[in-house]
Chain A
C-alpha cells in the first residue's frame, strides 16, 4: 500500500496526542498511562513502516508536501514534510527503539512513584524526535529540535528532588542552548539569503541546486563561501546537541536521568539528531568546489572520538563509561559524514542506535539487578547471576568494539575508516579513528571484565536477573545489533544505495577489493590487541574487593587521574565561562537594582513629591483661600444680618438713603 505524504504528520502527532492525554492523567492511572504511550508509539511505528515500504518503491525517491503556516504582510511562512530514504530509515529506527524502550520501562520504572509522568514525557519526546525526522522546513525542524531539548531536560531532571539531577538537567539545557543559538543564526541567515526555509520545494528549496549554487558562489566574512558560513553555524547546533567537543560536557551528567531515558535519548535518538541535521543539510555542507565545512566537521568529529574514548578508560560509573562511549561514537559519525558522505555517517548512526541502546538497557538491567549500584568496582561475577543480561550485553559490546563480520558495528566503523583513509585532505583523522577504535575496545573490555567476570565483590546481597519485560527487549535489540550490519556490507551496500536513491547489487568481490581487505585486517588486529590488553590487565586479575586500586591507576597515576577527572574540562568551564556569566549576572542585577530600579524609584519619588506639593497647595492655597473666602462671606453676612435688626425704621432709612443717593447720581449723570 501507499502512504500518502500529506498524512506523514500523523506519525509524530500520535505520540504528541498521547503525551497530551497523559498529562491529564492522575498519578495512580499507571496502566492507562503506559498503554496510551506504548499504544501511540506502536501505531506510529506501524505507520512509519508503511511509509518506509512506500518509499522503498517510490519514484521519485523523494516526496514532499508543504502548506502555508501563516502570512506575514507579503511573505508566507510554509511548513512541510518530506518522505525520502533518510526520513524513512530514521522513522523506522526511532519508532522501533521507542517501542522497545517503552516496553522496557514498564519493568524498570515499575516501582517509581511518578510512572505516569514518565510516560507522558517520553511520548512528548518521541513526538518531537519524529517531527525532526519528517521536517521539510528548517523552521519545523528547529521547533521540534527545541521540543526535543525540552523533553530531554524534563527527563534528565525526572527525579528533580535530587540536586544532582536538577543541576544536570539545567546543564544539558544550557549547553545545548549555546548550539541552538548558532543554529538559529544559521537558519536566519539561510532564510535571508535564499528566501525559503523549505529544504525541497520543486526546485525552489534551500537545499536544491539553484539556491546552493548561489550560496556557494557568494563570499562573506573572512573570504569564506556563504554556504560554508551557514553550514558551520548549523553544524554548531549539531555540536551542542550531539555532544561534540567542546559542548560535550552535558552528556555524562545526563546519566542522572533514568536508564531508559539514557538509552532512548542519549544514545539512540536525540544525540543522533545532530548527526541527522548534518546529514539533512549535507547538500549545503558540501556545496561548492572546496567545502570547508566538511573539513571542520571531520576534524571535530575525529578529535571528539579520541578525546571521549580516552576519558572513558578511567571512569568507574557504568553509565558514564557508556556515555563517553556515546560521545566518542558520535564523533565517529560526524567524521563519517565529513569524509564519506551521508550514507557512511547514517549507517553508523543506525547501527550505533541499536547496540548503544542495548548497552544502556543492559546497564540498566545490571543496576536494577544490583539494587541500584552503579560503581563497576563494586560489581563482579554477574555472568552467572544474570545470564540473559550478560549474553545480550556481550553482543552489544562486540558490536560497539567492531568485532569482525557478524556484528554491525564492525561494518559501519569499517566504512568510516575506509572513507577516512581515502580522504584527500589528510590521513590524520584515519589515525585518530584507529586509535579511537583501540581505546573503545580497551575500555569496553575493562568494563565488561569488572562487571561480569570474576567473583561478586559484595557477596552480601546477591544480584538477580531482571524480569522478562526487561530482558526480551534486550534480546530483540541484540538480534538487530547483528542483523542491521548486513544491510551495509561492501558486498551488498543496500543501505548506501538506498540513501543515494540507487539500487544495490550483490558483489561479494567488493569485500576484498583494493584497500578494503587491508582495512578489514587492520581493524581486526586493532580490536584484537585491545581485547588482549584489556584481558591482561583486568580480566585475569579482576578486582578482589572494591577497595583495591585500579591497576592502570597504579601504573600510570598521573594520566589516569587526568582522564578520570575528564581532563578537567568542567572545571575549566566553571573557572572561565561560568564565572564570567556569574559576574555579568551580578552586574545585571546591580544595574537592575541601582540604575533601573533607581530610575523607577526616582520617578515614583518625583510623583509622590508632586502629589505632596499638590496636596499642600490644595490645603494651604486653595482650601485656605476658600476657607478665607467663606469666612469673609460669613463675616459679611454676619454684618448684614447685624444690620437686619428687625426694625422697620432702619430699613426705611436705608431705603431713603438709597433714594437720595440715586437722585444725586441721576442729577450728576444728567449734567
Chain B
C-alpha cells in the first residue's frame, strides 16, 4: 500500500516552490544555488514517481533520466560554485542585488 501518485506530486511541487522561493527571495548567491539544487531534486522526484506509477516501469526511463539529471546537477553545482568564488574574489561580495553590471 502506498500513497497515491498525487501526493508525491504535491510533495514535489512543494519542494519546487520552496526552492524557487529561496532562489528569488534571498540575497546570497549560494542560497540561490541551493534553491536551484532543490528545484532539480523536486523534478527528479517527479520523474521517479511517474516511473513508479506509470504504465511501463520495466523500461526504466524515469530512472535513467534521474541518473543523468543527478550527474548534470553535480556538474552544474560545481561550475556555479566556482563562479561564485571567482565573483567573490573579484567583487568581494556575493550578494546578488549588488551584481548588476549587466544592467540595461
| One of B32, B101, B102 near A649 (C-beta < 8 A) | B32
**Is there an interface contact between B100 and A649, defined as CB atoms closer than 8 Å?**
no
**Is there an interface contact between B104 and A648, defined as CB atoms closer than 8 Å?**
no
B99 within 8 A of A: yes
A546 within 8 A of B: no
**Is there an interface contact between B20 and A646, defined as CB atoms closer than 8 Å?**
no
A652 CB → nearest B CB, Å:
5
A387 within 8 A of B: no
Residues in A with CB closer than 8 Å to B25 are 649
* B9-27 to A contact mask, C-beta < 8 Å, 1/0: 0000000000010011100
- A: number of interface residues (CB 8 Å): 13
| One of A642, A645, A648, A656 near B32 (C-beta < 8 A) | A648
Given contacts A649-B96, A649-B97, contact A644 B104 (CB under 8 A): yes
B87 CB → nearest A CB, Å:
11
Given contacts A647-B96, A647-B97, contact A652 B103 (CB under 8 A): no
A649 CB → nearest B CB, Å:
5
Given contacts A656-B20, A656-B24, contact A643 B99 (CB under 8 A): no
**Is there an interface contact between A653 and B24, defined as CB atoms closer than 8 Å?**
yes
Residues in B with CB closer than 8 Å to A649 are 23-25, 32, 96-97
Residues in B with CB closer than 8 Å to A647 are 96-97, 99-100
**Is there an interface contact between B32 and A646, defined as CB atoms closer than 8 Å?**
no
- Kindly state the separation between the CA atoms of A648 and B95 in the bound complex, as whole angstroms: 11
B3 CB → nearest A CB, Å:
23
**Is there an interface contact between A646 and B99, defined as CB atoms closer than 8 Å?**
yes
A425 within 8 A of B: no
Which residue of B is nearest A651, CB measured? B24
- Kindly state the separation between the CA atoms of A656 and B36 in the bound complex, as whole angstroms: 13
**Is there an interface contact between A641 and B104, defined as CB atoms closer than 8 Å?**
yes
Residues in B with CB closer than 8 Å to A572 are none
Residues in B with CB closer than 8 Å to A646 are 99-104
- Kindly state the separation between the CA atoms of A642 and B104 in the bound complex, as whole angstroms: 7
CB proximity to B under 8 Å, residues A590-646: 640-646
A635 CB → nearest B CB, Å:
14
A638 CB → nearest B CB, Å:
9
- Kindly state the separation between the CA atoms of A265 and B45 in the bound complex, as whole angstroms: 128
- Kindly state the separation between the CA atoms of A647 and B100 in the bound complex, as whole angstroms: 5
- Kindly state the separation between the CA atoms of A653 and B20 in the bound complex, as whole angstroms: 9
A651 CB → nearest B CB, Å:
9
CB proximity to A under 8 Å, residues B1-59: 20, 23-25, 32
B23 CB → nearest A CB, Å:
6
Residues in A with CB closer than 8 Å to B99 are 646-648
**Is there an interface contact between A640 and B104, defined as CB atoms closer than 8 Å?**
yes
Which residue of B is nearest A643, CB measured? B104
Given contacts A646-B99, A647-B96, A647-B99, contact A652 B23 (CB under 8 A): yes
- Kindly state the separation between the CA atoms of A653 and B26 in the bound complex, as whole angstroms: 12
**Is there an interface contact between B96 and A648, defined as CB atoms closer than 8 Å?**
yes
Residues in A with CB closer than 8 Å to B104 are 640-646
Residues in B with CB closer than 8 Å to A656 are 20, 24
CB proximity to A under 8 Å, residues B84-104: 96-97, 99-104
- Kindly state the separation between the CA atoms of A486 and B96 in the bound complex, as whole angstroms: 139
B51 CB → nearest A CB, Å:
22
* A637-671 to B contact mask, C-beta < 8 Å, 1/0: 00011111111110011001000000000000000
A561 CB → nearest B CB, Å:
111
Which residue of B is nearest A656, CB measured? B20
CB proximity to A under 8 Å, residues B56-80: none
Which residue of B is nearest A637, CB measured? B104
A40 CB → nearest B CB, Å:
96
**Is there an interface contact between A652 and B24, defined as CB atoms closer than 8 Å?**
yes
B22 CB → nearest A CB, Å:
11
- Kindly state the separation between the CA atoms of A642 and B25 in the bound complex, as whole angstroms: 20
Residues in A with CB closer than 8 Å to B32 are 648-649
Which residue of A is nearest B103, CB measured? A646
- Kindly state the separation between the CA atoms of A264 and B103 in the bound complex, as whole angstroms: 106
Which residue of B is nearest A654, CB measured? B24
B76 CB → nearest A CB, Å:
15
Given contacts A649-B32, A649-B96, contact A644 B103 (CB under 8 A): yes
* A557-576 to B contact mask, C-beta < 8 Å, 1/0: 00000000000000000000
Which residue of A is nearest B35, CB measured? A652
Which residue of A is nearest B100, CB measured? A646
Which residue of B is nearest A640, CB measured? B104
B52 CB → nearest A CB, Å:
23
A89 CB → nearest B CB, Å:
110
Residues in B with CB closer than 8 Å to A648 are 32, 96, 99
Residues in B with CB closer than 8 Å to A653 are 24
CB proximity to B under 8 Å, residues A505-539: none
A660 CB → nearest B CB, Å:
10
Residues in A with CB closer than 8 Å to B20 are 652, 656
B101 CB → nearest A CB, Å:
6
- Kindly state the separation between the CA atoms of A642 and B100 in the bound complex, as whole angstroms: 12
- Kindly state the separation between the CA atoms of A647 and B103 in the bound complex, as whole angstroms: 8
A218 CB → nearest B CB, Å:
101
- Kindly state the separation between the CA atoms of A653 and B32 in the bound complex, as whole angstroms: 12
Which residue of A is nearest B102, CB measured? A646
A667 CB → nearest B CB, Å:
13
Residues in B with CB closer than 8 Å to A641 are 104
Question: What residues make up the interface of A, taking CB atoms closer than 8 Å to B?
Answer: 640-649, 652-653, 656
Can you pick out 28 interface pairs between chain A and chain B where the beta carbons lie within 8 Å of each other? A640-B104, A641-B104, A643-B104, A644-B102, A644-B103, A644-B104, A645-B100, A645-B103, A646-B99, A646-B100, A646-B102, A646-B103, A646-B104, A647-B97, A647-B99, A647-B100, A648-B32, A648-B96, A648-B99, A649-B23, A649-B24, A649-B96, A652-B20, A652-B23, A652-B24, A653-B24, A656-B20, A656-B24
Contacts A641-B104, A647-B97, A649-B25 known; list 15 others, CB within 8 Å. Answer: A643-B104, A644-B102, A644-B103, A645-B100, A645-B103, A646-B100, A646-B102, A646-B103, A648-B32, A649-B23, A649-B24, A649-B97, A653-B24, A656-B20, A656-B24
Question: What residues make up the interface of B, taking CB atoms closer than 8 Å to A?
Answer: 20, 23-25, 32, 96-97, 99-104
4 nearest A-B pairs in the assembled complex, by CB-CB distance: A646-B100, A644-B104, A646-B103, A641-B104
